[in-house]
Amino acid sequence: MPTLDEGLLAVLGCPQCKGPLTVIEQSEQVKVRCSRCQCEWPVEEGVPHLLHERMSRYDGPGE
């Protein structure tokens, strides 16, 4: 499963609050997550899909 390029991750920010994004790997799924606003987006074939329609929220603290 392709992972997100570190160079790309360094320049991306959360589309909601402009906070930093981190990569989360959960049972064969890769997501980028913002711990500030508790939003996350899927990463498919190394490409983060930072669209509002693809956003989901998670409960709990950040990392």
Residue 62 is assigned to a structural domain of this protein = no
Asked if the model's pLDDT at residue 1 lies above 60, the reply is no
**Segments forming the whole domain that contains residue 43:** 6-57
Residue 1 is assigned to a structural domain of this protein = no
Cβ-contact 50, 25 below 8 angstroms: no
Residue 63 is assigned to a structural domain of this protein = no
CATH number at residue 24: 2.20.25
16-61 pLDDT tens trace: 999 999 999 988 899 999 999 999 999 998 899 999 999 999 986 6
Greatest pairwise CA separation for the chain in angstroms? 28
Domain count, the chain: 1
Reported confidence tier of residue 2, pLDDT bands at 50, 70, 90: low
| Alpha helices, H only, 1-63 | 6-11
Reported confidence tier of residue 15, pLDDT bands at 50, 70, 90: very high
Cβ-contact 51, 41 below 8 angstroms: yes
Nearest in space to 40 (alpha carbons), one of 52, 29, 27, 56: 56
